[in-house]
Amino acid sequence: MLDTTKQSDPAPPQDGPHPRQDEPRGCLFALSQPPLMIFLAVIGSLLLMASLHDLLLL
């Protein structure tokens, strides 16, 4: 089926092939940073160790 709807406003022109740098970056960019991933891995392993201690040894 063909899309025959008219677009009311055209896309804004871009300055070049790269997107503008003043746009905010999302959460996936923050999660891709190595220090944050190391921090989350340490916290996750501590939580896992605590839960296994509660389940198996207490």
Neighbour-count burial of 13, counting CB atoms closer than 10 A to its CB (0-12 exposed, 13-18 middle, 19+ buried): exposed
- Kindly indicate the confidence band of residue 55, based on its pLDDT and cuts at 50, 70 and 90: very high
| pLDDT tops 90 at residue 11 | no
| pLDDT tops 90 at residue 38 | yes
Judge whether 31 and 37 are in contact, CB under 8 Å: yes
Tokens encoding 7: 């677009």
Closest alpha carbon to 31 in 23, 22, 40: 40
Residues 48-57 have a mean pLDDT of 94
Between 29 and 44, name the one with better pLDDT.
Answer: 44
- Kindly indicate the confidence band of residue 58, based on its pLDDT and cuts at 50, 70 and 90: confident
- Kindly indicate the confidence band of residue 39, based on its pLDDT and cuts at 50, 70 and 90: very high
